Amino acid sequence: MGRIHWHLEEWLDAHNLTRYQLAQAMPGNTHSWLTTLYRMGDPKRLDLTTLATILHTLRELTQEPVNVADLLTYDDGD
């Protein structure tokens, strides 16, 4: 069976960003977002609204296109 891999931490490292910087730039409560981001180390489920907010914020921070495929990959296990 395949597996989805979450690459937020690697993506942030490659762009010299931290989860804290991401949380600060996200709309709403920084502490709540930071808690959410730290709990997402290797998520089993991912809320699409949260993913959309992360993508939107990363695009604003970097002024680069950031897509789902940059943060999630699929390994079919072969």
Query: What's the domain count of the chain?
Result: 1
Cα–Cα distance, 25 to 56 (Å, whole number): 10
Per the confidence metrics, is the pTM higher than 0.85?
yes
10-residue averages of pLDDT along the chain (78 residues):
91 96 95 92 88 97 96 86
Name the residue range of residue 34's domain. Answer: 3-75
- C-alpha closest to that of 5 among 70, 67, 75: 75
pLDDT the model gives residue 7: 95
pLDDT the model gives residue 78: 65
